[in-house]
A and B are shown apart, each in its own frame.
Chain A
Amino acid sequence: MSARCFISSVLFFLILLAYGCGERDDLAIPVDLMQPLALGPKVVFIDKSLYKAYLLDVTKKEIEPKVTAADLPPRPLLVQKRNQVDELLILCAGQQDTEGKEEKPAALAVLKSDGGVRKYEIERGFNSLIQSQDGRYVFLSVQGQTEDDPTATNTIVLPQNVMFIDLEKKPSDESARFSLLLGNSISNVPTGVSFSPEMSVAGKSRRLALIQSTDIVWLVDLSTPDSPPIFIQPNVGQQFSFEQALFDEKKKRLFLRGSNTDTINILDFAEDTDASSATDMLPLPVLRDPRLVAQGPSDMALYTVGDRTYLLVVSNGSNVATIIDTDSSTVATVALPVVANRILMFSSTAASESEAPSAQALLYNHGGQYNVVTFIDLANIDLEGTERLKAESVESVYFDTYFDQLSVVPNGNIVVLINTNGKQVSLLDLAERNVFPIKTPSQMKVIADSRVNKLWFEPRTNDQNNDRLVYLDLETFSSEDVRLDSQIEHALLVGTEAEAQIAIVHPSSIGYVTVLDAKSPSRKSAVSVEGFFISHVLDRGEP
């Protein structure tokens, strides 16, 4: 290993001395770091106390032991990688006007990989952030309040208050964000949100958001933010506990699932009966007859066969899956060997060029203790009912050990089934339906890396011998490990597909990262950089 140790112990103590004597803001050694994240070629550390983001570029051939610092709004609460875009979303609580401190508004900071930050001012009190799948929209809400919650200020926070931000618009654009007050009942407190894809409704292309609460949903047209939201209560007086919404943009339908009901509710925009369709306003949807499913529906997925759209539903309380023809009232049930509460949809490989890949589903149990998954060939399901269900459409695969989590290798045909309490994972080839059991030296977090077709196993920090980075090559199914010079705290996928790297963050107060080539990881080619936080301090001290 060609490690580059930048700092000597003498210098380190000098810096510590300087830090102890000076103003904290001026001598910025990170003191309260959030979990680091990868942002393009960089590893980003965010200090909750100093309100700064530190970006370390790890993809250069000669890694400089130096971070770029970016100022953030006061009191960062949480950080997320923006979906589909190389940016980080950092929700900041802002700062109240108190003795010696200037009032600074709460804000959503968007950090780019070059260190640039744009800030969307928001109302105070939000502590939850959910983004749309494409990363365009952000939904902010208030979720609970703990004793150490930085938002616990003198500000009155209404939990019914929510805000949307369109990240494609500049912060200076007034229409970039809007807030809603969802009634005045505790049943209006939002519990989640779902974003639609682009849907053409009433002659206008729209993006919709469905805000969920215990027994009510609010449908918001993000494309016409001035129009009032639509209040939907599938059953007045009954708590539904909404959990999931799916959007069928072609048929203009919404499917709602709650944990407290054995029905799937269907909202239909196909018939634009509302007079408001003459305007840009989102018309009122029609609530179709609910579709009954097995007890305790826990997950659902849409798929198409030909021109028909179907909804597959699994349930916590029954070992059957339900298939609903969304174009009719036809419902079929599929018996499963055990309860399955999660669905993984995938497409089979076409047998020939003339054939299109067919919809397949893998049903499994998340959080339970089962050693079986079930494949359903959805294209061959006969919806006339279980009596006529083709046996070849359903196949169960059993494992030697139990698992309670499933992880998907993006763009791959492999899923990883994990026993979180044990030292074993199993790989399942979706195409061949073969199982590869793997024993790991300790309990590990599995990171799927589709760029190099590898699985990385991040050891838990309290494990012994956690200085070894274990990986599995999914092409050869060979397992290797690389011994590092220090314990592994976090493993981050950095770089691009062409220059794929994995950055290992080691526990250190002055910053310590090892970078490996993800295609051919080896101790020999690994590069370590240490002390980059102190480098930053020294830089700041220079004229």
Chain B
Amino acid sequence: MNKPLFIIEIAAALLIFGCSTGDNSEAGDMTHANGTPVATGGYATGPTAGMEGQAGRKDDAPGEMMDGGVQTLPPEKEKLVDFEQPQAGKRFVFVVNPETDSVFIIDSKNFAVKTAHPPGDKPTFLKTVESPTDEADIAIVLNAPLVAKDEENNAAVIRAKADEEPTANALRVVKNSNVIAVSPDGRHAVVYYNSNYSSASDSSGRYQDVTVISLSKESDQSFNITVGFRPSAVYFTSDGTKGFVVTEDGVSILDFAEIERSGAGVAETVSLGYTLSERPSDVSITADGRYALARLQNDAAVYLVDLETRSIKALNLVLKEIINRDSDADDDDAGVDPRVSQGQITDLDLAASGDYAVAVLRDTSEVLKIPVPQAFDDPSQINATKIDGVVIGLSELAPDGRHALLYTTVVPDERVTVLDLEGETKPQTVRLQKSIETVAIAPDSKNALLIHTKQEGWREDPAIDENTRIDRSYGYSILRLADGFPKLQVTDTQLGPFVITPEYLFILFRDDALSIKEVQRVSLVSLQVDTIGLKRPPYSIGSISQFERVFIAQEQAGGLITLMDWKGDLREDISGFDRNPKIERGSEK
């Protein structure tokens, strides 16, 4: 199973400007890149704006009082992944223009621009596909939800190649689709409507349909498949042969070969075993597609579902013992563990390899490394590490699986703990200068970007001291995982989207009120920060791997994209590609 990684292109859209925090909902998992919605490219500056992609399912009520009057901490908050447009393929940058029903394709090598006119109205959502078998850059584009009158030609597959005119193959997909998930082999995509990602009050009314797109340069095809209720995320096996749609009814399995043979149909949906009163969270699928892993909200239970045999195993991670689900399966209160007060899981992450999962028990300051599936038969294989004196509620696994970062978002704790998951070194708690809002680890697993919270209050108040001034500022830290060395960078406004290249981290900053429009280039070697001014307010950044360039899209009539090499030395501004031409005959003389 391919758990989506923080590859460079995906990191391009890791955060949206000004997005607020979400609960531990399924879609809030930062690693659900392949199943992430594509946003319309709007720029959000308010503290709660840009949250179209936030999952609507709320977790526990914050700060609830437990029996005995002991106040518990509110739930942890993990940041949301979101995509911003435009997006880059291997060579081309794709920019949609709903107003002119066009997709502009910019060649990052020589700045040539081509225009594709996908069928239908208002192409809005776009996702690039890296296909190992197709030398063309591929993008799937969906027309705007609630605009398309029917399902005829409401999506297209665009292919762009050097020295050839782009092609746009029309497809019909589930009406109002707003999510595109692409398999790791680039051969299939799953398109569906997720109301959590839409601000519109209307919906398609088709809460149990997804469209499977079979990508082939000879003939693209689409198949409508019935799945469980309200799909919220999609996973794929690492070989791309199967897809898994997380729904409220369980995990619906998409066998692409079978779908291409049989056409439209009903996907087999495997229950995760929880009851009507239980609320699963952090659902993930192992790399080989064999197991689904989920935890229950407000609970110490973790479920492992064998997607082949349908067998379900459960562990109580507080007690480190197997839960016998059969004994109380019919009880109304089956999901309510009387021992919940002993602790609950606040985060559950599956390693990219699928070999183990990491769970965080905030109440007991424990981190558990859970071998999958072995620990579900033998809980003694669980390796528990207690982090004394630190509040930890969330974990973030490095792509190489070697380290995990442990932190909390619910108290202003200015610390982060680096945990060596191989146990060769002791956990290292690092003192920071600001508390953490969210964390991202670079693809090479060497550095982490810690985005800090900003405390209320005027930071220029002459009555406050330096530390308070720092707390009242926006900022981020780069943390070296090898030795835990952090470097703080205070900023004038909140961080925008960022992209990580092998040597540099590029972060966008924008604040229209303060006239801030810049990109900060952070050397991942020296940790030095350079600020590069931009012409216009930026809204999107991405990386073009083939020519080692970063693109930054900025708001300007006619379009403006700045291309710079991965070192940020060479810059080219290109504009005017986004146009709405008008040619007509004038009146008689």
Once bound together, how far apart are the Cα atoms of A512 and B587, in whole Å? 54
Once bound together, how far apart are the Cα atoms of A332 and B111, in whole Å? 8
Residues of B within 8 A of A385 (CB): 109-110
- Residue B69 at the chain A interface, CB threshold 8 Å: no
Residues of A within 8 A of B586 (CB): 183, 218, 228-231
Cβ-neighbour of A238 out of B114, B573, B579 (below 8 A): B579
- Cβ distance B371 to chain A, nearest Cβ, rounded Å: 49
Once bound together, how far apart are the Cα atoms of A90 and B578, in whole Å? 44
- Residue B580 at the chain A interface, CB threshold 8 Å: yes
Residues of A within 8 A of B113 (CB): 263, 289-292, 329
Once bound together, how far apart are the Cα atoms of A423 and B112, in whole Å? 44
- Residue B557 at the chain A interface, CB threshold 8 Å: yes
Query: Is the beta-carbon distance between B588 and A228 smaller than 8 angstroms?
Result: yes
Once bound together, how far apart are the Cα atoms of A218 and B587, in whole Å? 12
Cβ-neighbour of A231 out of B107, B573, B585 (below 8 A): B585
- Residue A333 at the chain B interface, CB threshold 8 Å: yes
Q: Which residue of B lies closest to A285 (CB)?
A: B583
Once bound together, how far apart are the Cα atoms of A480 and B112, in whole Å? 53
Query: Is the beta-carbon distance between B583 and A232 smaller than 8 angstroms?
Result: yes
Cβ-neighbour of A235 out of B109, B111, B114, B580 (below 8 A): B580
Q: Which residue of B lies closest to A293 (CB)?
A: B111
User: Which bracket fits the contact residues of B?
Assistant: 20 to 34
Query: Is the beta-carbon distance between A261 and B576 smaller than 8 angstroms?
Result: yes
Interface string of B86-121 (1 = CB under 8 A from A): 000000000000000000001101111111000000
Query: Is the beta-carbon distance between B584 and A317 smaller than 8 angstroms?
Result: no
- Residue B207 at the chain A interface, CB threshold 8 Å: no
Query: Is the beta-carbon distance between B579 and A234 smaller than 8 angstroms?
Result: yes
Cβ-neighbour of A236 out of B112, B573, B581, B589 (below 8 A): B581
- Residue A178 at the chain B interface, CB threshold 8 Å: yes
Cβ-neighbour of A331 out of B107, B577, B579, B585 (below 8 A): B107
Residues of A within 8 A of B558 (CB): 235, 238, 261, 263
Q: Which residue of B lies closest to A333 (CB)?
A: B110
Query: Is the beta-carbon distance between B163 and A330 smaller than 8 angstroms?
Result: yes
Given contacts A261-B558, A292-B112, A292-B113, contact A235 B107 (CB under 8 A): no
- Residue A294 at the chain B interface, CB threshold 8 Å: yes
- Cβ distance B562 to chain A, nearest Cβ, rounded Å: 10
Query: Is the beta-carbon distance between B110 and A330 smaller than 8 angstroms?
Result: yes
Query: Is the beta-carbon distance between A292 and B111 smaller than 8 angstroms?
Result: yes
Residues of B within 8 A of A276 (CB): 585
- Residue B572 at the chain A interface, CB threshold 8 Å: yes
Cβ-neighbour of B582 out of A218, A231, A295 (below 8 A): A231
Cβ-neighbour of B575 out of A233, A262, A330, A331 (below 8 A): A262
Residues of B within 8 A of A237 (CB): 557, 580
Interface string of A496-531 (1 = CB under 8 A from B): 000000000000000000000000000000000000
- Residue A328 at the chain B interface, CB threshold 8 Å: yes
- Residue B574 at the chain A interface, CB threshold 8 Å: yes
- Cβ distance B25 to chain A, nearest Cβ, rounded Å: 40
Query: Is the beta-carbon distance between A317 and B573 smaller than 8 angstroms?
Result: yes
Residues of B within 8 A of A232 (CB): 581-583
Chain A interface residues (CB < 8 Å from chain B): 178-180, 183, 218, 225-238, 240, 261-263, 276, 284-285, 287, 289-295, 317-318, 320, 322, 328-333, 385
A–B pairs, 11, beta carbons within 8 Å: A231-B585, A232-B582, A234-B581, A235-B557, A236-B581, A261-B558, A263-B558, A290-B113, A291-B112, A295-B573, A331-B110
**Knowing that A290-B576, A330-B110 are A-B contacts, what are 17 other residue pairs whose CB atoms are under 8 Å apart, sorted by A's residue number?**
A178-B589, A218-B586, A229-B586, A231-B586, A235-B557, A235-B579, A235-B580, A237-B557, A238-B557, A261-B575, A276-B585, A285-B583, A289-B113, A292-B112, A329-B114, A330-B163, A333-B111
Chain B interface residues (CB < 8 Å from chain A): 106-107, 109-115, 163, 557-558, 572-589
